[in-house]
Amino acid sequence: MAHMSFLTNFFGKKKGASVLGIDIGSSSLKVVQLRKERGVVVLETYGELALGPYGGAEVGQATNLPADTMAKTLTDLLREASVTTTNCGVSIPSSRSLLAFVELPRRDNPAEQKTVIELEARKYIPVPVSEVQLDWFILPEPTSENGERAQNVNVLLVAVHNDEIKLLENVIATAGLVASFYEIEIFSTIRSVVDEPAKPVMIIDIGAGSTKVYVVEQNVVGVSHAIPHGGQDVTQAIAVSSSSDIVHAEQTKKKTGFVDAERSLRESMESVFSGIFGEARRVLAQFEAEHHRSVSAIILTGGGGVTKGLADYAEKFFSIATRIADPFAKTQAPAFMRPVLKEIGPEFSVAVGIALRKLTEHT
Instruction: Give domain status of residue 256, yes or no.
Output: no
**pTM greater than 0.85:** yes
pLDDT, greater one: 134 or 150 = 134
Within-domain flag for 292: yes
Give the pLDDT of residue 273.
94
**pLDDT of amino acid 321:** 96
Average pLDDT over residues 282-301: 94
Arithmetic mean of pLDDT, 273-291: 95
Assign residue 127 the CATH number of its domain.
3.30.1490.300
Portion of the chain with pLDDT greater than 90, in percent: 51
Question: Of 159, 176, 198, which residue is a domain's last?
Answer: 159
What percentage of the chain has pLDDT greater than the value 70? 92
Give a yes or no: residue 304 inside a domain.
Answer: yes
- The answer to whether residue 210 sits within a structural domain is yes
Does 148 lie in the same domain as 76? no
What are 58-114's pLDDT values in tens digits? 776 767 788 899 999 999 999 999 999 999 999 998 888 888 888 888 888 888 888
Instruction: Give the integer Cα–Cα distance in Å for 69 and 210.
Output: 23
Question: What's the confidence (pLDDT) of residue 1?
Answer: 31
As a 3-state breakdown, the chain gives helix, strand, coil percent values, each rounded to 5, of 45, 30, 30
Is residue 307 within 8 A of residue 254, CB to CB? The reply is yes
d(CA 276, CA 37): 41
What's the confidence (pLDDT) of residue 261? 80
User: Given this model, what pLDDT does residue 2 score?
Assistant: 39
Q: For the residues 45-53, what does the mean pLDDT come to? A: 90
User: Is-contact 237 258, C-beta < 8 A?
Assistant: no
Which residue segment(s) compose the domain that 116 sits in?
Answer: 96-159
Question: Of all helices (H) and strands (E), which one includes residue 311?
Answer: helix 310-318
Does residue 130 sit in the same domain as residue 51? no
pLDDT of residue 144: 57
Q: Are residue 100 and residue 213 in the same domain, yes or no? A: no
Which among 159, 178, 197 is the end of a domain? 159
Both 81 and 103 in one domain: the answer is: no
End-to-end alpha-carbon separation of the chain, Å? 40
- In this structure, of 199-208, 236-245, 285-294, 324-333, the range with the lowest mean pLDDT score is 236-245
Residue 5 has pLDDT above 60, yes or no: no
Please indicate, yes or no, whether residues 103 and 224 belong to a single structural domain of this protein. Answer: no
CATH assignment at residue 293: 3.30.420.40
